[in-house]
Amino acid sequence: MFKLKYRYLFVVLLGTYSYLNIMFTEGFRLFGFELPWYYLLTALLISVLLIWEGNRFIESKLDFLHRSIGKKLHPLIVFFILSLVVVVFSTLLMVYIMQFLMREPFDTLMLHLKLALGFGFRVNLFLNCLNAIYYFMTEVKKTQIEAELLKKKTIEAQFEALRNQINPHFLFNSLNVLASLVYKDADTSSEFISQLSKVYRYLLYHQEKKIVELRDELDFLKSYIYLLTIRFKDNLSISIDIPSKYHGHYVAPASLQLLIENAIKHNVVSSKKPLQIHLSIIDNKFIIVENNLQEKPVKEPSTSVGLQNISLRYQFISNEQLIVHKSEQSFSVRLPLIALADI
């Protein structure tokens, strides 16, 4: 507190307040003898200034003094004890100067010193109370900032972990398809590899991003859907009905791909039961990914890469959450569209 930019203004205000207070309580008496008002005011200002500057010096050396005296004592206690020494020294100096100027006999020094010490200790106690309040407010603010930084780092780490789940999972599935293709059709395998490289380039390029434009996500889906078409042929149908006016909105990277993959994972995809997935806009603020429900008799174990991953990621980037609806005939997920104003 004692290093404040406008500290000398505080010194003048406190000195003036002390002068007015003494005028109403003790008249012109502070040292045991009469003083002209300008001498009294000057003496008070000098006393407050000496106490303030002495405390400022202690504050600048407090860390060193705290280590030297002992860490068992709170730094504010160490500060207060040392400030008492400052008060005694400042008061003694001021009284000596005033005795000299007023040509008072020095055999009355002790009386004057006691009176001046009473004033000095009151001023010092007041300043130390303010300093304690300032100290604890600063500590609280510092703790809040550290807590926010820790929270931010924790969220970033969680988000990074969620994001890193996507790539290994997708690559594993794609390589399985490629392994079954490579000996059957060289041309299709070549095109598959080309589309796979586009897909994986997108994932790598956008891995560090929390959100991407919807148009980029849809372009990525074209390559991804090609890979699925090679894998499932006519057993899988994916249609996209999203007007271009929504392409400037944002979504979490690979979120649509994960929803499609999630639908394929949990439903039967066969010639007798083709799976149909439809993407469209609803309520002008959601992309809905809907499929006919034909659940597998034996459910695959969860890898936490599908709905849970997307839901957790959206908690970090949007106030809107996923809306999942399941009926006897269909299963749908509403994915929030993020407008530029929401970022």
Q: What is 127-188 written as a DSSP string?
A: HHHHHHHHHHHHHHHHHHHHHHHHHHHHHHHHHHHHHHTHHHHHHHHHHHHHHHHTTT-HHH
Question: In this structure, are residues 22 and 40 in contact, taking their beta carbons and an 8 Å threshold?
Answer: yes
> Phi/psi of residue 265, each to 5°?
-65, -40
Q: Is the pLDDT of residue 171 over 90?
A: no
Question: In this structure, are residues 213 and 248 in contact, taking their beta carbons and an 8 Å threshold?
Answer: yes
Q: What are the Cα distances from residue 97, in Å, to 87, 113, 124, 178? A: 15, 12, 20, 96
Q: Is the pLDDT of residue 261 over 80?
A: yes
Q: Cα–chain-centroid distance for residue 299?
A: 40
Record: fold of 165-342: Heat Shock Protein 90 (3.30.565)
Q: Is the pLDDT of residue 289 over 70?
A: yes
pLDDT band of residue 270 (cuts 50, 70, 90) is: very high
Q: What is the pLDDT averaged over residues 295-306?
A: 67
d(CA 277, CA 261): 10
Q: Is the pLDDT of residue 41 over 70?
A: yes
* pLDDT value for 279: 96
Q: How many CB atoms lie within 10 A of CB 49?
A: 18
pLDDT averaged over the chain?
Answer: 77
At 82-130, the pLDDT tens digits run 788 888 888 777 777 766 666 666 555 566 677 777 777 777 787 778 7
- From the list 86, 106, 10, 94, the residue with the least C-alpha distance to 44 is 94
Q: Is the pLDDT of residue 35 over 60?
A: yes
* pLDDT value for 290: 96
Q: What is the pLDDT averaged over residues 30-51?
A: 69
Question: In this structure, are residues 47 and 91 in contact, taking their beta carbons and an 8 Å threshold?
Answer: yes
Question: In this structure, are residues 291 and 278 in contact, taking their beta carbons and an 8 Å threshold?
Answer: yes
Give the whole-number percent of the chain exceeding pLDDT 70.
70
Pick from 25-34, 255-264, 317-326: least confident? 25-34
* pLDDT value for 21: 64
Query: What is the pairing mode between strands 286-292 and 250-251?
Result: unpaired
- More confident site: 53 or 247: 247
pLDDT band of residue 304 (cuts 50, 70, 90) is: very low
Burial class (CB in 10 A: 0-12, 13-18, 19+), 302: exposed
Q: Where are the domains of the chain?
A: 7-155, 165-342
pLDDT band of residue 332 (cuts 50, 70, 90) is: very high
Q: Is the pLDDT of residue 175 over 90?
A: no
Q: What is the pLDDT averaged over residues 138-144?
A: 81
b/e per residue, 194-212, with b = 16+ CB within 10 A? ebbebbeebbeebeeebbb
At 50-92, the pLDDT tens digits run 887 787 777 777 766 666 665 667 777 777 777 888 888 887 7
Residue with tokens 């999942």: 324
* pLDDT value for 293: 93
- More confident site: 277 or 7: 277
- More confident site: 241 or 255: 241
pLDDT band of residue 269 (cuts 50, 70, 90) is: very high
Q: At what angle do helices 166-181 and 109-164 cross, to 10 degrees?
A: 10
- More confident site: 277 or 2: 277
**Per-range mean pLDDT, top range of 77-81, 165-169, 185-189, 326-330:** 326-330
